[in-house]
Amino acid sequence: MKNKKVVLLSVFVLVIAFIIGSVLFKENKKDDFKALAKNSASAPFVQPYSPSFGKNEKKVTIVEFVDPECGACRAFHGVVKKVYSDYENEVKLVIRYLANHKNSEYMVRILEASRIQNKYKEVEDIIFFYQPKWAEENSPKPKLIWNFLPQIKGLDVEKLRADFDTIDISKILKQDRADAKELGVRGTPTFFVNGKELETLSYQTFDDLVVSEIYK
């Protein structure tokens, strides 16, 4: 009986120690994240090569970790466009990649090649609009996207193909994934506004967070 009590006491002490350790670990992670958030306009939130848009007059940086083949990213793309269009003078929108699907890298290469012609946002719109066609679950056909890109006014599709063939995005994807891991990002879309993570994906919560940073 005495040995049983000793064992139970030992287990209890170990459980308490584990709980305390977990709490301290989480608190330390929170402190680390707060320290990172103070520099939310730089790494690991933003890299010099990251696509960015907006005049940023209020010094508000919105960072989106995105995957072009992610259905949730497509669903939320309209919200991102709306919020950005409402506050493009006040904010800077920064795009980071987390290519978790089979054909994501293919689309990222197109997006990065489109930057050479300053057509990133237009190409992004086409990629997301036609995602159900080129990323069909049972039979994805990423090359189908080339049939839709000529819809973009002023886009030189032949030049885009040439740039697509020669561009190297391996370092970008590797660094974006490393930064995502450091920030605890596992899925897409994930947003940070001045280092504060958007916890609920909705237009209202996104808009509220951006507005709170603009007018704080």
Q: What is the pLDDT of residue 41?
A: 87
Distance between CA atoms of residues 27 and 158, nearest Å: 53
Distance between CA atoms of residues 95 and 47, nearest Å: 10
Q: What is the CA radius of gyration of the chain?
A: 22
* DSSP type of residue 46: -
Q: Are the C-beta atoms of 94 and 120 separated by less than 8 Å?
A: no
Locate 92 and state its tokens.
Answer: 């800077």
Return the beta strands (E) in 42-158 as ranges: 52-53, 60-66, 91-97
- Tell me, which fold does domain 52-214 have in CATH? Glutaredoxin (3.40.30)
Q: What is the pLDDT of residue 148?
A: 98
pLDDT per residue rounded down to tens, the chain (216 residues): 555 554 445 545 454 644 554 444 445 444 555 556 668 989 999 999 999 999 999 999 999 999 999 999 999 999 999 999 999 999 999 999 999 999 999 999 999 999 999 999 999 999 999 999 999 989 999 999 999 999 999 999 999 999 999 999 999 999 999 999 999 999 999 999 999 999 999 999 999 999 999 998
SS3 121: helix
Distance between CA atoms of residues 37 and 44, nearest Å: 9
Q: What is the pLDDT of residue 35?
A: 59
Q: Give the residue extent of every domain in the chain.
A: 52-214
Distance between CA atoms of residues 99 and 175, nearest Å: 12
